Amino acid sequence: MNSALRRLVYVSASILPSGEANAVHVAQMCDAFAELGVPVELRGKPGTGASVVAHYGLRNRFPICLPSWMGNALWKAGRSLYRRTERASGVLYYGRNLPDIAQLAAWGYPVGFELHHPPRSAKKLAKLRRIVEAPGLRGLVVTTESLRVDLLARFPALDPSRILVAHDGVRADRIVVPRLRQTGAVRAVYCGSFHQGKGVETLIAAAAMVPEVTFDVIGGAPAQVQAMSALAPPNVRFLGRLPYDETQRLLPEYDIALAPYGSVVRGVRTPEHESLAAWMSPLKLFEYMGAGLPIVTSDLPVLKEILSHGATALMVSPDDPAAHATAIRSLACDGALRLRLAQAAQQALRAYTWENRAARILEFLGARRSAA
């Protein structure tokens, strides 16, 4: 199907702005759609009250609607009331908000749904089934091949061509050519949350084994930073949470980037019985590559969809501080290796920009820009 697209409404449950990776993803994707000339509207939940555009460094201005629970309920009531006339209006509803997209699909609207992890309950699985079986479904977008395989196992009747694997990305204009700093101690950086399995504990233990390298940790709530600071050696500095745009400007100033994931990884809303390690597509990896940094990360199967040990990163055993310390020391002592890995990773990154991702999704969903 290829139909005229008058407007794309990105329906998210993200808190905007906030420090959560899902909010970064949503904001950057809408900016990429707008950069391609698509009339886009972003719906989410109200966050700190700061400017979403400034917080994420967005290039484009587009409608951003952050209603209260009641405001969103009234918006959905309007979609129900006017569905007979609106369904053919050229508006495509797309996004990651499972309940809202499922309801819009049930009302017959054209929808596309993006999934970053399997449904976490029978109720959510039922909502996803409603989307999958809806006549107006344009397609499903997932962030990893492992998640595509999981979906096909859950829905054997689903045509594999209805699923697009689109890994996360980085903004094309933020890609910085790799370089070697000539002065000062080697500096390593970790950027992200302190949730279980994200690897801050592994970083702290590894840093103690590599005292010649300085480590900066960007992220973490104040209480988490205080707790981790008490455990860290003197060569680790905690910068706390920084605005997303500021973080992206800082990254190219470092020499090594770290993503020491554990074998079990949990996010802000991950249930205790579940791990993200099989499905995740970490934003930080793409941002590190865009900043021109060599990466030390964990040897998890899902990360091998993006990186290759010895070619585009050093990948070592998860939950093993000594292995991470050895890899960090190898890079600290070998500037040529740092540069080679960063250059190779950035060459691969050219396929993983937000703009390319947005264009692929639009083509997959059969959405062509309306001339009106």
Sheet holding 214-218, edge to edge: 236-240, 214-218, 187-191, 256-259, 295-298, 314-316
Q: What residues pair up with 217 in beta bridges, in sequence order? A: 190, 238
Radius of gyration for the alpha carbons in the chain, expressed in angstroms and rounded: 21
The predicted model scores a pTM of: 0.93
Predicted confidence (pLDDT) per residue in 127-183, tens digit? 999 999 999 999 999 999 999 999 999 999 999 999 999 999 999 999 999 999 888
Q: What are the φ and ψ backbone dihedral angles of 261, each rounded to 5 degrees?
A: -60, 150
Tokens of 324: 């991470």
Output DSSP code: residue 279: T
Sign of the torsion angle spanned by Cα atoms 84, 88, 90, 96: positive
pLDDT for 372: 43
Q: What is the pLDDT along the chain (372 residues), one digit of tens a residue?
A: 456 799 999 999 999 999 899 999 999 999 999 999 999 999 999 998 999 999 999 999 999 999 999 999 999 999 999 999 899 899 999 999 999 999 999 999 999 999 999 998 999 999 999 999 999 999 999 999 999 999 999 999 999 999 999 999 999 999 999 999 888 899 999 999 999 999 999 999 999 999 999 999 999 999 999 999 999 999 999 999 999 999 999 999 999 999 999 999 988 778 877 899 999 999 999 999 999 999 999 999 999 999 999 999 999 999 999 999 999 999 999 999 999 999 999 999 988 999 999 999 999 999 765 544
Cα 336 to Cα 178, 180, 211, 212, 295: the distances in Å are 11, 9, 21, 18, 14
Q: What is the pLDDT of residue 92?
A: 97
- At position 276, the amino acid (one-letter code) is L
| CA separation, residue 32 to residues 26, 172, 223 (Å) | 10, 10, 35
| Phi, psi (degrees; rounded to nearest 5) at 183 | -130, 160
Closest CA to 299 of 289, 313, 287, 311: 313
State the pLDDT at residue 184. Answer: 87
Q: What is the pLDDT of residue 36?
A: 96
- Check residue 1 and give its pLDDT: 47
Q: How far apart are CA 112 and CA 114, in angstroms?
A: 7
- What does the pLDDT read at residue 31? 98
Rounded Cα distance between 22 and 24, Å, is 5
What are 327's two structure tokens?
Answer: 């890899």
Give DSSP secondary structure letters for 305-326: GT--BTTTBEEE-TT-HHHHHH
CB contact set of 124 (below 8 Å; sequence gap of 6+): 98
